[in-house]
Amino acid sequence: MEEELKLDPIEIRYYRLIRYLTDYIYSVKVENGKAVKTYHGPGCAAVTGYTSEDYQNDPELWYRMVHSDDRPAVLKQAEDALAGIEVKPLEHRIIHRDGSVRWVKNSIVLSKDEYGNVVYYDGLINDITELKKAHELAELKQKQLIQADKMVALGTMVSGITHEINNPNNFILLNAQFLKKAFDDIMPVLKEYAAANNDYYVAGIPSEKAFVKITQALDGIIEGSTRIEKITNSLKEFAKKDSGRLDQAVDLNKAIEKAVMITSNLIKKSTNNFKVNYNSDATKIKGNAQQIEQVMINLIANACQALPDKNRGIEISTYRKDNFVAIEVRDEGTGIESENIKFIFDPFFTTKRNSGGTGLGLYISYNIVKNHGGDILVESSVNGTKFTILLPIN
């Protein structure tokens, strides 16, 4: 209080104001373009955890406490201010004394002499950590809404496309089945004719070989058409509006089978070594089948994208582990860098930004698994990555 009594009333009010600010003011005295003295207001402790005395005792503290990724921008702002260049407010991260990361906004006002030289500049540090979190949450919600709208639109489109595909595919399937039955019925007559006429040629090859090839061709058409039917049915099921309820009886083997069916084209393009080990022991859980399928589609797609060539493989396995059912998705890809492992389930984190990655796939998958009362674990090395989903058996 003695210090306050030496000041006039306006100065006392100013002193009390800056003393109790949660944001804080600092001042830098400048001579010949260099900082010669810096004052940090008492409010610095609330924002950074460090006191004015800490800054006085350690002149480099103001810079060392800045997040390493943001230091170049902070240094540039300070250098421009010293050079008399008007600078815009800068948002950057600092490492609080307690080790946490905080976001601040640093606004600088220059004071110059009559010759235009900077004699000092004042800065205001605002703690915007909560504001940043709010913005990130709002952005995430917006992304999720956009994604939800896309899924609704995709569901409508898929339903229409599958209907258009099924019509001609049903025509192909029915006619192929009819031709197969007809060919089987007339085969004895054709073979009798061939025996009586010392064999003959069909489409340039001996009739005996031609009969085999025709049978194989018809079987192939029927098999391919049946596969198309299964894929379109899986797509229709996946595109149905999700009720969001987590009380369905979910057969994990069937959920995996549908996910594999939907991603089959991507799998074929990515690897020649794809394997699924279905385990019939306790594969039923309570949950939401569509959401589990979505998790599997995300993990399979990620595994495919991680493979550098088609010789590398992907293996999916299910098994029981204590009171959980485990699903492992293992790939022989390039692996995830160790510094990125802790961020992979964060919203918007992606190493594939340039190729269209949004960073939402694993975040959404993580939340789906958590909502089911389970957990999702990851192990990675230069030899590949393994995701393990644990879902409780109810």
Other beta carbons less than 10 A from residue 256's beta carbon: 22
Residue 328 sits in the same domain as residue 354: yes
Structural domain including 83 reads: 2-127
Q: Which of 127, 162, 188 is the last residue of a domain?
A: 127
What does the block give as tokens for 67?
Answer: 């997040």
Residues 114 and 57 in one domain: yes
Q: Which of 180, 210, 241 is the last residue of a domain?
A: 241
pLDDT of residue 350: 65
Name the domain count of the chain. 3
Is residue 224 located within the same domain as residue 370? no
Instruction: Give SS3 for 169.
Output: helix
Measure the CA–CA gap between 243 and 223, rounded to whole angstroms. Answer: 34
- In this structure, the answer to whether residues 270 and 320 fall within a common structural domain is yes
183 and 320 fall within a common domain: no
Q: Is 235 found in the same domain as 250?
A: no
Residue with tokens 């992907």: 314
Q: Indicate left, alpha or beta for 141 from its phi (over 0: left) and psi (-120 to 50: alpha).
A: alpha
Joined tokens for residue 277:
């080990």
pLDDT digits (tens), the chain, 394 positions: 344 445 556 555 555 555 545 578 888 898 888 888 888 888 888 889 998 889 889 988 999 999 999 999 999 999 999 999 999 999 999 999 999 999 999 999 898 888 888 898 988 898 888 888 888 777 767 666 656 555 555 555 666 677 678 788 888 989 999 999 999 999 888 888 888 877 788 888 888 888 889 999 999 999 888 888 877 776 666 666 555 677 888 889 988 988 898 888 889 999 999 999 988 775 788 888 888 988 898 899 889 988 999 999 999 999 888 888 999 999 999 888 887 877 787 766 665 544 444 456 788 888 889 989 999 999 988 889 999 999 998 7
Same domain as 357, residue 230: no
Q: Are residues 108 and 179 in the same domain?
A: no
Domain boundary among 189, 213, 241: 241
Q: How far apart are CA 304 and CA 117, in angstroms?
A: 60
Query: Are 118 and 84 within one domain?
Result: yes
Nearest-angstrom CA–CA distance, 31 and 230? 78
Q: How many CB atoms lie within 10 A of CB 186?
A: 10
Do 257 and 388 have their domain in common?
yes
CATH number at residue 341: 3.30.565.10
CATH at residue 27: 3.30.450.20
Please give the biggest Cα pair distance in the chain: 128
Tell me: do 237 and 268 sit in the same domain. Answer: no
d(CA 284, CA 268): 28
DSSP per-residue codes, 51-72: -HHHHHH-TTHHHHTB-GGGHH
Q: Are residues 233 and 254 in the same domain?
A: no
